[in-house]
Amino acid sequence: MHAHAELLKGHKWLDTFQKPRRGDTKLQHILARYEQILHAKQENERWNDRLREQPTHHDRAYLRPSPFNRALPRLKPQAIHIGYDPPAAQSTDGTTMESVYALQHKQRVEPLKAKYNDPSNVPTGRSASPPPYTPELLTSRWRRQAPPADVVAKLSNVA
Protein backbone atom coordinates (compact mmCIF):
# COMPACT_ATOMS: atom_id res chain seq x y z
CA MET A 1 0.00 0.00 0.00
CA HIS A 2 2.79 2.42 0.93
CA ALA A 3 4.86 1.55 -2.14
CA HIS A 4 1.82 2.16 -4.38
CA ALA A 5 1.39 5.70 -2.98
CA GLU A 6 5.08 6.47 -3.51
CA LEU A 7 4.90 5.16 -7.07
CA LEU A 8 1.89 7.40 -7.84
CA LYS A 9 3.71 10.40 -6.37
CA GLY A 10 6.76 9.64 -8.53
CA HIS A 11 4.64 9.45 -11.71
CA LYS A 12 2.96 12.76 -10.80
CA TRP A 13 6.36 14.45 -10.42
CA LEU A 14 7.57 12.93 -13.69
CA ASP A 15 4.55 14.40 -15.50
CA THR A 16 5.11 17.74 -13.76
CA PHE A 17 8.71 17.92 -15.01
CA GLN A 18 8.00 16.61 -18.53
CA LYS A 19 5.03 18.88 -19.38
CA PRO A 20 7.10 22.14 -19.33
CA ARG A 21 9.55 20.59 -21.82
CA ARG A 22 6.63 19.91 -24.13
CA GLY A 23 5.53 23.57 -23.99
CA ASP A 24 3.17 23.98 -20.98
CA THR A 25 3.84 27.67 -20.12
CA LYS A 26 1.96 27.61 -16.80
CA LEU A 27 4.12 24.78 -15.45
CA GLN A 28 7.23 26.49 -16.88
CA HIS A 29 6.49 29.58 -14.77
CA ILE A 30 5.74 27.47 -11.69
CA LEU A 31 8.98 25.49 -12.03
CA ALA A 32 10.97 28.68 -12.67
CA ARG A 33 9.57 30.12 -9.43
CA TYR A 34 10.44 26.95 -7.50
CA GLU A 35 13.94 27.08 -8.98
CA GLN A 36 14.34 30.67 -7.71
CA ILE A 37 13.12 29.63 -4.26
CA LEU A 38 15.55 26.69 -4.14
CA HIS A 39 18.42 28.90 -5.32
CA ALA A 40 17.63 31.49 -2.60
CA LYS A 41 17.47 28.74 0.01
CA GLN A 42 20.85 27.35 -1.10
CA GLU A 43 22.38 30.83 -0.97
CA ASN A 44 20.97 31.37 2.50
CA GLU A 45 22.37 28.04 3.69
CA ARG A 46 25.76 28.91 2.18
CA TRP A 47 25.88 32.17 4.14
CA ASN A 48 24.76 30.44 7.33
CA ASP A 49 27.59 27.93 6.89
CA ARG A 50 30.09 30.76 6.40
CA LEU A 51 28.88 32.46 9.57
CA ARG A 52 29.13 29.21 11.51
CA GLU A 53 32.70 28.68 10.31
CA GLN A 54 33.96 32.07 11.54
CA PRO A 55 32.47 32.99 14.91
CA THR A 56 33.40 36.32 16.46
CA HIS A 57 35.71 36.13 19.44
CA HIS A 58 35.81 38.63 22.25
CA ASP A 59 39.25 39.79 23.21
CA ARG A 60 40.64 42.67 25.21
CA ALA A 61 39.32 46.14 24.50
CA TYR A 62 41.27 49.17 23.35
CA LEU A 63 40.17 51.15 26.40
CA ARG A 64 41.83 50.09 29.62
CA PRO A 65 39.42 49.16 32.43
CA SER A 66 39.25 51.33 35.52
CA PRO A 67 37.69 50.79 38.95
CA PHE A 68 34.53 52.50 37.72
CA ASN A 69 34.37 51.06 34.19
CA ARG A 70 34.55 47.36 33.48
CA ALA A 71 36.60 45.91 30.65
CA LEU A 72 34.84 46.14 27.30
CA PRO A 73 34.92 43.26 24.82
CA ARG A 74 36.67 43.64 21.48
CA LEU A 75 35.66 41.86 18.31
CA LYS A 76 38.25 39.53 16.91
CA PRO A 77 38.64 39.26 13.96
CA GLN A 78 38.12 43.01 13.76
CA ALA A 79 35.29 44.12 11.48
CA ILE A 80 36.52 45.95 8.36
CA HIS A 81 34.37 49.05 8.93
CA ILE A 82 35.83 49.39 12.45
CA GLY A 83 39.46 48.51 11.86
CA TYR A 84 39.98 49.99 8.39
CA ASP A 85 42.96 52.36 8.38
CA PRO A 86 42.76 54.65 5.31
CA PRO A 87 46.29 56.15 5.58
CA ALA A 88 47.84 52.68 5.66
CA ALA A 89 45.70 51.43 2.79
CA GLN A 90 47.26 50.64 -0.55
CA SER A 91 45.81 51.55 -3.89
CA THR A 92 45.02 48.94 -6.50
CA ASP A 93 48.29 49.52 -8.37
CA GLY A 94 50.36 48.74 -5.25
CA THR A 95 51.57 52.24 -4.35
CA THR A 96 51.20 53.45 -0.78
CA MET A 97 50.33 56.92 0.46
CA GLU A 98 53.24 58.80 2.01
CA SER A 99 52.54 60.61 5.25
CA VAL A 100 53.10 64.37 5.18
CA TYR A 101 53.85 64.52 8.91
CA ALA A 102 56.20 61.54 9.13
CA LEU A 103 59.32 63.71 9.44
CA GLN A 104 57.78 66.05 12.03
CA HIS A 105 56.41 63.21 14.17
CA LYS A 106 59.72 62.54 15.90
CA GLN A 107 60.19 66.25 16.65
CA ARG A 108 56.76 66.39 18.32
CA VAL A 109 57.02 63.13 20.25
CA GLU A 110 60.55 63.40 21.69
CA PRO A 111 59.79 66.26 24.17
CA LEU A 112 56.72 64.39 25.40
CA LYS A 113 58.69 61.18 25.92
CA ALA A 114 61.37 63.09 27.82
CA LYS A 115 58.73 64.68 30.06
CA TYR A 116 57.02 61.39 30.89
CA ASN A 117 60.26 59.45 31.41
CA ASP A 118 61.64 62.06 33.84
CA PRO A 119 61.36 60.71 37.44
CA SER A 120 60.95 64.22 38.87
CA ASN A 121 57.56 64.54 37.16
CA VAL A 122 56.04 61.62 39.08
CA PRO A 123 53.58 62.94 41.70
CA THR A 124 54.28 61.91 45.29
CA GLY A 125 52.19 61.82 48.44
CA ARG A 126 48.96 60.51 46.98
CA SER A 127 47.62 57.10 46.13
CA ALA A 128 47.72 55.80 42.58
CA SER A 129 43.95 55.81 42.24
CA PRO A 130 41.03 56.65 44.51
CA PRO A 131 39.21 53.74 46.13
CA PRO A 132 36.42 52.59 43.82
CA TYR A 133 33.66 52.52 46.44
CA THR A 134 33.31 54.27 49.77
CA PRO A 135 32.43 52.22 52.88
CA GLU A 136 29.03 53.98 52.99
CA LEU A 137 28.18 52.70 49.53
CA LEU A 138 29.27 49.20 50.45
CA THR A 139 27.16 49.10 53.62
CA SER A 140 24.07 50.62 51.98
CA ARG A 141 23.35 47.38 50.16
CA TRP A 142 23.70 45.43 53.40
CA ARG A 143 21.21 47.80 55.09
CA ARG A 144 18.59 47.22 52.39
CA GLN A 145 18.60 43.47 53.01
CA ALA A 146 16.53 41.71 55.64
CA PRO A 147 18.14 41.14 59.04
CA PRO A 148 19.96 37.84 59.66
CA ALA A 149 17.90 34.78 60.59
CA ASP A 150 18.93 34.73 64.27
CA VAL A 151 17.89 38.37 64.70
CA VAL A 152 14.51 37.67 63.07
CA ALA A 153 14.02 34.69 65.39
CA LYS A 154 14.77 36.83 68.48
CA LEU A 155 12.44 39.58 67.26
CA SER A 156 9.61 37.12 66.63
CA ASN A 157 10.00 35.57 70.12
CA VAL A 158 9.75 39.00 71.78
CA ALA A 159 6.38 39.80 70.23
pLDDT digits (tens, 9 = 90+) for 122-144: 666 655 555 667 777 777 766 77
pLDDT of residue 68: 73
Classify residue 20 as exposed, middle or buried by CB count within 10 Å of its CB (0-12, 13-18, 19+).
Answer: middle
Classify residue 114 as exposed, middle or buried by CB count within 10 Å of its CB (0-12, 13-18, 19+).
Answer: exposed
**73 within 8 A of 59, measured Cβ to Cβ:** yes
In degrees to the nearest 10, what's the CA dihedral of 138, 144, 146, 152? 90
Q: Please state whether beta strands 74-76 and 57-59 pair in parallel, antiparallel, or not at all (unpaired).
A: antiparallel
Residue 76, strand partner residues? 57
**Could you tell me which of 101, 77, 103, 99 has the C-alpha nearest to residue 86?**
99
| Domain ranges (residues) in the chain | 12-62+73-79
Q: Is the pLDDT of residue 63 over 80?
A: no
pLDDT of residue 117: 79
Highest mean pLDDT range out of 69-73, 107-111, 144-148? 107-111
What three-state secondary structure class fits 75? strand
